[in-house]
């Protein structure tokens, strides 16, 4: 029987191949014998943890940029001396090696989980190390991506950071996970690597190793045991797409030349080198959190100046929009956030942190201004999580006082989208963060995969807010870009163009498909499409309107 599974579209494109399931975490038998030689068990447990950490270090050495910092954090957690103390205590309480590891990690994992937010998410990293160490203690293969020959579709509950950083697009042609939403770690990495992916697909639990599946990361579907015809169609589609993508280069524009700038999202010097080499018109979102996460002290102005400079260097002659620190909620920064808020996503985060810690914001603006001068760069700044025109005015005035000529704000709080005209009276430009704007418009935690349907950027209320912001910007004669994940969706590109959005900022791998999608329509067609999509009652209907317009 042909079976179509549904999940969240996470990384566009189609692919087919045999299922390779992530090796499951080891399961500890419920009963054990109290070891006769505790010292031997302690040595075995320590050795197993060392094996797991050494394996992580080997993997970390082969990657750079954001992936590297994710793994370095994981390694630092595994080196926490209190874990070893816990293992020792558990062994002396009669636990064999694997059980001692489980017990010692258990307390740390529970403590992190209870904190929620960014730190809560780190619990998954610690669980991954625990499982690797237990597998080593039991003499089992480590959990994660098994070593197999040939191309395959990777299927699992979710993919741990240690595995995502090693994904090889030449082998992993598609990804399907049972958990995760459109902004989950797996989704972001899949998009960055250009691997079609469907996440939050609960039905994937029933897929068997070796079974052929067809993944449609644009629609969010997974077809089990597709027929020959379907496989041929997928192969033809992806060949036609590659040919089409290779045909277009240069600045973003519709078929009749209406410009929509194609910009990049970067998050640190590692990925910036690859981004600088890409065919794009500049940086629409430089996330600066990489310098602050997992730090206990504020980086100095000089350190920040050098870090920003490392990115600016590659973009000489092209504009770079640097976002000031967006600490809080999913990006917990120890010295900026208290960690004791009941609802961190609704708490002191983004610009609100800068208001309460002015020295953080002013040091950053000073460093940005110095780095811009060092490199003669066209630098603009924007603040995250702006809610009111007064906040926009205060931020832009402060930025200009540091000699930064162009100052804007992100629109990711519904209040700012509704009163976009007032915000634009104060800011030089706005950039819409659809990830948070979805979260706050639909009251749906962006990290919860099971709420993926509400977080879908094709949802009509989100698009209505985008339309309102774009119209306000057009009336003000200013630019309104999009820098959330929705900007990398080729299906939405003509809709955004038709609404009057002036730039789309995305990961490097998304640019060719978005550029090609814009070329499929004239500006007039984009406007017609936008009008029709805005009147759609729900996200699937909106997608269908674009699909039918394109093929009809």
Residues serving a catalytic function are 185, 483
Residue 436 marked in a binding site: yes
Q: Which of 184, 406, 434, 441 binds ligand PEP (CB under 6 A)?
A: 434
Where in 412-441 is the site for Mg ion (CB under 5 A)? 412, 433, 436
Question: Is residue 462 at the binding interface for ligand PEP, with CB under 6 A as the rule?
Answer: no
Site string for ligand PEP, 465-504 (x = CB under 6 A): ------------------xx--------------------
* CB burial string 30-61: b at 16+ within 10 A, e below: eeeeebeebeebbebbbebbebbbebbeebbe
Q: What's the CA gap between 231 and 449, in Å, rounded?
A: 28
361: which 2 tokens? 């914001």
Q: What's the CA gap between 116 and 337, in Å, rounded?
A: 13
Residue 446 marked in a binding site: yes
Q: What's the CA gap between 521 and 529, in Å, rounded?
A: 10
Question: Is residue 352 at the binding interface for ligand PEP, with CB under 6 A as the rule?
Answer: no
Tell me if 457 sits within 8 A of 490, measured CB to CB: no
Question: Is residue 284 at the binding interface for Mg ion, with CB under 5 A as the rule?
Answer: no
Phi then psi for residue 319, to 5 deg, are -70, 145
Tell me if 516 sits within 8 A of 247, measured CB to CB: yes
Where in 255-314 is the site for ligand PEP (CB under 6 A)? 285, 287
Q: How many other C-beta atoms are found inside a 10 Å radius of the C-beta of residue 148?
A: 12
Burial grade of 114 (CB within 10 A; 0-12, 13-18, 19 or more): exposed
Question: Is residue 441 at the binding interface for ligand PEP, with CB under 6 A as the rule?
Answer: no
544: closest CA among 148, 173, 218? 218
Site string for ligand PEP, 382-421 (x = CB under 6 A): ------------------------------x---------
452: closest CA among 202, 80, 171? 202
Total chain residues near ligand PEP (CB under 6 A): 10
Tell me if 394 sits within 8 A of 332, measured CB to CB: no
Residue 163 marked in a binding site: no
Question: Is residue 191 at the binding interface for ligand PEP, with CB under 6 A as the rule?
Answer: no
Q: Of the ranges 220-228, 357-365, 397-405, 433-441, which one interacts with ligand PEP (CB under 6 A)?
A: 433-441
Query: Which of Mg ion, ligand PEP, none interacts with 287 (beta carbon under 5 to 8 A by kind)?
Result: ligand PEP
Q: Of the ranges 57-65, 121-129, 293-301, 428-436, which one interacts with ligand PEP (CB under 6 A)?
A: 428-436
Tell me if 71 sits within 8 A of 161, measured CB to CB: yes
The CA distances from residue 77 to 345, 351, 539, in Å, are 25, 29, 41
Residue 326 marked in a binding site: no
Question: Is residue 436 at the binding interface for ligand PEP, with CB under 6 A as the rule?
Answer: yes
Q: Which of 218, 364, 406, 435 binds ligand PEP (CB under 6 A)?
A: 435
Annotated binding-site ranges for phosphoenolpyruvate: 287, 323, 435-436, 446
Positions in the binding site for Mg ion (CB under 5 A): 412, 433, 436
Per CB under 6 A, residues contacting ligand PEP are 285, 287, 326, 412, 433-436, 483-484
**Residue ranges for the binding site?**
287, 323, 412, 435-436, 446
């Amino acid at each position: 029987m042909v079976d179509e599974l549904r999940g969240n579209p996470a990384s566009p494109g189609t692919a087919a191949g045999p299922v390779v399931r992530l090796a499951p975490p080891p399961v500890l038998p419920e009963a054990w014998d109290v070891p006769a030689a505790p010292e031997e068990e302690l040595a075995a447990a320590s050795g197993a943890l060392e094996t797991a950490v050494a394996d992580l270090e080997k993997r970390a050495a082969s990657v750079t940029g954001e992936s590297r910092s994710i793994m370095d954090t994981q390694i630092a957690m595994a080196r926490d001396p209190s874990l070893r103390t816990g293992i020792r205590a558990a062994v002396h309480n009669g636990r064999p090696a694997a059980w001692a590891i489980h017990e010692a990690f258990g307390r740390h994992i529970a403590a992190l989980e209870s904190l929620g937010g960014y730190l809560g998410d780190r619990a998954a990293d610690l669980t991954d190390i625990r499982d690797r160490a237990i597998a080593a203690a039991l003499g089992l293969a480590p959990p994660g991506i098994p070593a197999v020959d040939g191309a395959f579709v990777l299927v699992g509950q979710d993919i741990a950071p240690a595995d995502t950083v090693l994904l090889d697009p030449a082998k992993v042609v598609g990804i399907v996970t049972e958990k995760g939403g459109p902004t989950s770690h797996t989704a972001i990495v899949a998009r960055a690597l250009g691997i079609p992916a469907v996440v939050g697909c609960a039905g994937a639990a029933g897929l068997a190793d070796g079974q052929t599946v067809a993944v449609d990361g644009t629609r969010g579907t997974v077809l089990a045991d597709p027929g020959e015809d379907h496989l041929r169609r997928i192969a033809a589609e992806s060949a036609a797409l590659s040919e089409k993508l290779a045909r277009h280069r240069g600045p973003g524009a519709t078929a009749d030349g209406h410009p929509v700038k194609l910009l990049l999202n970067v998050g640190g010097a590692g990925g910036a080198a690859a981004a600088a080499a890409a065919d794009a018109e500049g940086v629409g979102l430089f996330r600066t959190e990489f310098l602050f996460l997992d730090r206990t002290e504020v980086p100095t102005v000089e350190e920040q100046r050098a870090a920003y400079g490392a990115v600016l260097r590659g973009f000489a002659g092209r504009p770079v929009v640097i976002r000031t620190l967006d600490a809080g909620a999913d990006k917990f920064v120890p010295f900026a956030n208290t960690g004791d808020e009941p609802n961190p996503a609704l708490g002191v985060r983004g610009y609100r942190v800068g208001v309460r810690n002015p020295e953080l914001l002013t040091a950053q603006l000073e460093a940005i201004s110095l780095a811009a001068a060092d490199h003669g760069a066209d630098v603009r700044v924007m603040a995250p999580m702006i809610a009111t025109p007064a906040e926009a005015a205060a931020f832009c005035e402060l930025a200009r006082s540091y000699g930064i000529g162009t100052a804007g704000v992100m629109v990711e709080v519904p209040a700012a989208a509704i009163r976009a005209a007032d915000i634009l009276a104060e800011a030089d430009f706005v950039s819409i963060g659809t990830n948070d704007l979805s979260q706050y418009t639909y009251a749906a935690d962006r990290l919860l995969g099971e709420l993926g349907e509400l977080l879908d950027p094709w949802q009509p209320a989100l698009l209505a807010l985008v339309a309102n912001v774009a119209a306000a910007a057009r009336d003000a004669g200013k630019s309104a870009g999009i820098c959330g994940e929705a900007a990398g969706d080729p299906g939405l590109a003509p809709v955004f163009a038709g609404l009057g959005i002036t730039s789309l900022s995305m990961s490097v791998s998304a640019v060719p498909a978005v550029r090609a999608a814009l070329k499929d329509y004239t500006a007039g067609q984009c406007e017609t499409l936008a009008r029709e999509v805005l009147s759609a009652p729900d996200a699937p209907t909106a997608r269908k309107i674009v699909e039918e317009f394109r093929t009809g």
